[in-house]
Structure 1
Amino acid sequence: MSLAAAPTEIPSLEEAYEACRQETAEWAKTFYLGTLLMPPAKRRAIWAIYVWCRRTDELMDSPEAMTRPEAELAERLDVWEQRTRDLFEGTVRDGLDRVMADTIERYPQPIEPYLDMIEGMRMDLTTHRYATFEQLKLYCYRVAGTVGLMTQEVMGIDPAYTSAPWSHPPDTSEAAVALGIANQLTNILRDVGEDRGRGRIYLPQEDLERFGYSEDELMAGTLNDSWRELMRFQLKRARDWFARSEAGVRWLAPDARWPVWASLRLYRGILDVIEELDYDVFNHRAYVPTSGKFLDLPRSFVIAQAR
């Protein structure tokens, strides 16, 4: 089932949400598993946001996009930005627009994170190296931290923090962004080998220099002590960002805490797998096996019950 359709063939809301579910299940298996722990309305909204983000990413990173000239990709991003602005003004052109409009109505949210993500895609047009972590952090915020902001209204806040007349709702934005950055740093470490094939190195240049590991060695997939020390440093940084995000999970609505904890722990588990592979992300793809995912769900449930 395709989300794209001519204006006279826009699928029903149920059909469009089902298409989002199928796409999420196919392309984001660990993430999808976490969404199934949510109540139906919330999981559908998360599927819609995921597919919107995937469509945005495909403008730059699909196999077809990689064959296109930079000017054409830039134009695509401009068109997508205008379409996003139109969506937030109420214009519905296809099934994805329909579910996104429904999600925005149910869970009101600002347009800025969506526009920031598009800016992250623009960074990929011209930036293939990052001199410092501060520069990389901006990229990680735009392409992944924004997802936390897009979804925080869907997750909701535990009424225990908002029910008293004197209570002030906690701000989950910082933790939401931290989780997105942690996930993106994990993606970068997992995909070092794949990214080098596209001429991209996301590991900060200052870190390569610090550990005495050259760009030529990275492109050649050289495994040595310098590489392992570099990767240990990168994994610690990613885990630190996961730790920052944990502080905000306790504020979430009870029906969101378990799936968020499950997703956080399962994604962080990729870092453990990288260690088990002796940091060889050039010849192996790190992933948490299905058995490990299901074994961790009860642990995540217990953690989610504590505030």
Structure 2
Amino acid sequence: MVLSPPAPALGIPDLEQAYEDCRVETERWAKTFYLGTLLMPPAKRRAIWAIYVWCRRTDELMDSPEAQALPVAELSARLDLWEQRTRELFAGQVRDGLDRVMADVIEHYPQPLEAYLEMIEGQRMDLAKHRYADFAELKQYCFRVAGTVGLMTQEVMGLDPAYTTAPWSERPDTSEAAVALGIANQLTNILRDVGEDRGRGRIYLPQEDLQRFGYSEAELMAGTLNDNWRALMAFQLERAREWFARSEAGVRWLAPDARWPVWTSLRLYRGILDAIERLNYDVFNHRAYVPRVGKLMDLPLSYLIAQAR
């Protein structure tokens, strides 16, 4: 079924302009991620930009400056309307430019509606859940708000024909690795944004880990830097790196034109963990990031790794 409308609807930008709008937004808000997408063929990169913007719109329902001032009931109503609109999008209803590009993506790269609904559920978790007892709870949150992105994008990435064209080929399942990469990215976000999240009254670090390392919630809210904090953060960074390692196994199954960008994005995002270490774990007063020169220097190495897999 073709989900794109046959002709431009009144007030909705044409498909090319709508994709360009997504490109501009992705470049503005996700510089490291955007760099990786530029290594993809045009059709794939455009699809990834569209999915990114949809995910950003979902996140903004909860975390935009405007949303921060809204009561919980109104935020909940927003999410309900967004869920209804998402279901209608998958049924073929197009209202604006983002809908138009998403309809085009769904047509060319079949998408699981469930992944999109799970992401919305992750936003609902932020309505009332501001603490996580253990990693099992945090993992569910990370799956919903980021692991689902792997499920949304795996059809866009595609599989290497070498693994699928022979009569005896058994189609590999890349879902577990795709989800692992999303979880790794979200854990990295959490560690980078500890200082910012505390201003919203949210602590994503598991409560059992705070207790294990003898670091109190009051100390976190005050931005206390001590040996207990550094030990706690070192443990969290190691956990995030383990999830990145889990994701690596699935990259070798990807289509050749996707392996280099995925390796680049994986390695550059993992580099944020190294940046946190260089800050001596002071994420209260500094924002960890990979400098542009570091990104450019990593490109050839990521390319070599992609060819070897």
TM-score when scaled to structure 2? 0.97
Corresponding residue of 2:61: 59
| Residue of 172, 192, 199 corresponding to 1:170 | 172
Corresponding letter in the other structure for 1:233: F
Corresponding residue of 2:142: 140
Q: Which runs of 4+ in 1 moved over 2 A?
A: none
Counterpart CA distance in 1 for 2:193 and 2:12 is 36
Counterpart CA distance in 1 for 2:57 and 2:47 is 16
Instruction: Quote how far apart the aligned CAs of 1:7 are.
Output: 5.8
The 5-angstrom pairing of residues 104-253 of structure 1 reads 104-253=106-255
Deviations 1:261-293 (A, max 9, x none): 000000000000000000000000000000000
Unaligned runs of 5+ in 2: 1-7
Counterpart CA distance in 2 for 1:236 and 1:58 is 29
1:95 aligns with 2:97: yes
Corresponding residue of 1:3: none
Corresponding letter in the other structure for 1:222: T
Unaligned runs of 5+ in 1: 1-5
Deviations 1:78-103 (A, max 9, x none): 00000000000000000000000000
Deviations 1:132-162 (A, max 9, x none): 1000000000000000000000000000100
Counterpart CA distance in 1 for 2:20 and 2:112 is 25
Deviations 1:186-232 (A, max 9, x none): 00000000000110000000000000000000001001110010001
Q: SS of the residue aligned with 1:234?
A: helix
Counterpart CA distance in 1 for 2:217 and 2:9 is 49
Counterpart CA distance in 1 for 2:204 and 2:70 is 22
Corresponding residue of 2:5: none
**Identity score, percent:** 82
Instruction: Quote how far apart the aligned CAs of 1:8 are.
Output: 1.8
Counterpart CA distance in 1 for 2:55 and 2:144 is 11
| Residue of 277, 280, 288 corresponding to 1:278 | 280
Q: SS of the residue aligned with 2:10?
A: helix
Counterpart CA distance in 1 for 2:164 and 2:17 is 36
Instruction: Quote how far apart the aligned CAs of 1:28 are.
Output: 0.3
Corresponding residue of 2:267: 265
Q: SS of the residue aligned with 2:170?
A: coil
Deviations 1:51-110 (A, max 9, x none): 000000000000000000000000000000000000000000000000000000000121
Corresponding residue of 1:15: 17
Counterpart CA distance in 2 for 1:108 and 1:281 is 39
Corresponding letter in the other structure for 2:125: M
Counterpart CA distance in 2 for 1:7 and 1:271 is 45
Counterpart CA distance in 2 for 1:150 and 1:16 is 19
Counterpart CA distance in 2 for 1:268 and 1:88 is 33
Counterpart CA distance in 2 for 1:205 and 1:109 is 35
Corresponding residue of 1:79: 81
Q: CA RMSD in A?
A: 0.8
Corresponding letter in the other structure for 1:177: V
TM-score when scaled to structure 1? 0.98
Corresponding letter in the other structure for 1:268: R
